[in-house]
Amino acid sequence: MTIQPLPNSPSPQLPISLCSLLSVENLTVEFRTRSGVVKALAAVDFTVQPGETVGIVGESGSGKSVTAFTLMGVLDRAGKVTAGRALLQTEAVAVDLLKESEASLRQIRGREISMIFQNPRTALNPIRKVGKQITDVLRCHTDLPPKELPGRALELLASVRIPDPPKRYDAYPYELSGGLCQRIMIALALACSPKLLIADEPTTGLDVTTQATVMTLIQDLAEQGQMATLLITHDLALASEYCDRIVVMHAGHVVESAPTHTLFSHPRHPYTAKLIAATPEPHKSFADLTPIPGSLPDLKATTLPPCRFSQRCDRFEAGICDQTPLVREFVNGDHHVACWKPL
């Protein structure tokens, strides 16, 4: 077991042969608002390997979606990346998504990295037929002749198991159910066979049966195309079923990361343990669930504690847990925890 400080500056450039498909290092993001600067992300680190499914879990406000928007280059205008890098391995080189121009990102998005947004009804263009929206993506990122675009769009609709693809091709989003809209979002995201798919709460608002169908569909398509998936969710049960590895976030920090089985059987961070204890399971009654006390800290505060969970943690000890910098403790290879007093 070794201990090292969290990084304060970007790591040296890695040779392409040693890079993961995606390597996020020291990612720090702030939002400037009228009421102050929101320190949304601080020194976020994680990797995604080719073909791997990595889950990012945590409460609302933990920074999960902000991380995804930053990687895609669609961060709100008030947001600013103040440190870090995000290396994506393309065919020939590793590119830093945080430093690419908007023109370059337009070529990368859809072709190398795609995203399923949380609410498909707002992500889809409400006044454009879904078939045309798919052909727009194909026209931008492929060399297919114009006459072949509709046929390819129909193939994509069929690949996500949408019944009667020709009928859905000519439908508007408002004419379709939430489950069908979600499948169309998946078809759009996978139209150009990206290496990495970011799925931001892809089952929000869907019934349990449709949730399972959508997640199985994403899993099957990822396996067919050897595609890596970054699954963002607050549902630990969902993450435990579909993810190879899980990253736990709290108030803009990565507090723990481990293979799924290891994380659930031996959580080391107090926050992770409390999340698991608060997760409903078939054999648990409501009385068995333990809520997490308190709430997320005010990220607009002038000074924040090194551990942003310290005010909610029953293991907090003055003089130890308020030290700076916070540490990352590596446990058995791919398991690490950022805590002065891990379980």
pTM confidence score: 0.89
For residue range 90-147, list pLDDT tens digits in order: 876 889 999 999 999 998 998 899 999 888 888 899 999 999 999 999 999 889 999 9
Q: What is the mean pLDDT of residues 317-336?
A: 84
Q: How far is CA 309 from CA 171, 232, 312, 314, in A?
A: 47, 20, 6, 10
> Of the ranges 62-76, 85-99, 204-218, 271-285, which is most confident?
62-76
The CATH architecture to which 2-112+194-337 belongs is 3-Layer(aba) Sandwich (3.40)
Mean pLDDT rounded to a whole number for the chain: 88
Give the residue among 306, 286, 290, 308 at the shortest CA–CA distance from 298. Answer: 308
C-alpha–C-alpha distance, residues 283 and 281, integer Å: 6
pLDDT band at residue 279 using 50, 70 and 90 as cut-offs: confident
> For the chain, what percent of residues have pLDDT higher than 70?
94
* Residue boundaries of the structural domains of the chain: 2-112+194-337
Q: What is the pLDDT of residue 15?
A: 39
pLDDT band at residue 206 using 50, 70 and 90 as cut-offs: confident
For residue range 242-261, list pLDDT tens digits in order: 999 999 999 999 999 999 99
Q: What is the pLDDT of residue 14?
A: 37
Which residue would you say has higher pLDDT here, 177 or 283?
177
Q: Which residues of 117-144 are buried (b: 16+ CB within 10 A; e: fewer)?
A: bbebeebbeeeebbbebbbbbbeebbee
C-alpha–C-alpha distance, residues 296 and 212, integer Å: 30
pLDDT band at residue 168 using 50, 70 and 90 as cut-offs: very high
pLDDT band at residue 19 using 50, 70 and 90 as cut-offs: low
